[in-house]
Copies of this chain bind each other. A is one copy, B any other.
Amino acid sequence: MLSGTLREDGRDRPATTEDVLAALAGHTFFWLDLDDAASDGTVSELLSVHFGFHPLAVQSAERFNQRPRIDDYDAFTYLVARGADPDGSGRAEVHCFWTDRYVVTVHRGDCPALGEVRTRMERHHAKEAASPQIVIVYLVVSALADTFFPFLSKFDDRIDALEDDILKTPTEAQLGELFDMKRTLMEMRKVVAPQRDMMASINAGVTDVPGMTDEAAHYFRDLYDHLIRVADMVDNYRDLLTSVMDTHLSTVSNRLNVVMKQLTIIATIFLPLSFLTGFFGQNFAYMVRVWLSPTWSFFVLGIGLELVAVVFLLTLFRRRGWLGGPTV
């Protein structure tokens, strides 16, 4: 069963094979949006048999999770555009077939970006300036590209929160999260960078697209500007994540220093004191008889000596600034 929407003369209706064939036979511009969620071959049959697209392109249109690219076939142009898709659902990927007379888009499941295109299409200023196929392609790629910004904005906040967390208490769970974030960025980069390069090649005129005019070129330049910003942000966040990782290591090392300083202070105070008490706990007859028997000797040797030791050590620590605070 074919599932999709056919738009002709500004009106949308569910696409049936008959309507599509009629539109194909007519002379009006139309946009056919197909949902390939079923993956049962209906879509690919339609594309290869009735539209007569090149088998390589049809084959590619059936497989999702593709690298964004633009391929210029003799009779049509094939373009893969993608948006932010953090949960890997594949719903932010659109494949466009695109000639002078019609545009066919293939998506999978509920693609929010395409819904937005439909609502924006009627009132968008591009409508007057450029040919209809350019308007559709521009709006599709633009809607997909716009999905990156809220995603990256959340990412930005997450990095800041992580940095703050780490400076407060570094944990191992944060290391795992950093790794996951790095991976997410890499997935994103794989989607964004080729899309940016694709727009660059269209702008430079290296790739010819049907319906392109001087006027339409402004819209592609606009897209390029959006995508280059997304790509720059992805690169920046990657750099920042490395920085956060370094902060983690440095903070952990710093904390270790604090712990060790405390251990050293405790040991430096109590090991000498224990020695002193041990000394006067020996069973030397002379010491017991002569040194330890007078009453004053307890206060002078037993308590006085130890107080002297404690005062001396605390003075030493204060001078080295070790008693200042919890930081090193």
Contacts and interface: CB of A to CB of B under 8 A. Distances in A.
A281 interface: yes
Interface stretch (A17-25, A144-152, A220-228): A220-228
Contacts of A266: 264, 267-268, 271-272
A261 B163 CA distance: 23
Contacts of A161: none
A287 interface: yes
Copies of this chain, count: 5
Contacts of A283: 280-283, 287-288, 292
A245 B243 contact: yes
A207 to B, nearest CB: 11
Interface of A: 54-56, 60, 67, 69, 71, 73-74, 125, 129, 163, 167, 169-173, 175-176, 178-179, 182-183, 186, 189-190, 194, 214-215, 218-219, 221-222, 225, 228-229, 232, 236, 239-240, 243-257, 259-264, 266-268, 270-275, 277-288, 292-295, 297-299, 301-302, 321, 327-328
Given A274-B274, A278-B278, 12 more contacts: A55-B125, A60-B222, A172-B251, A190-B229, A190-B236, A252-B257, A259-B260, A262-B268, A267-B267, A283-B283, A284-B298, A285-B292
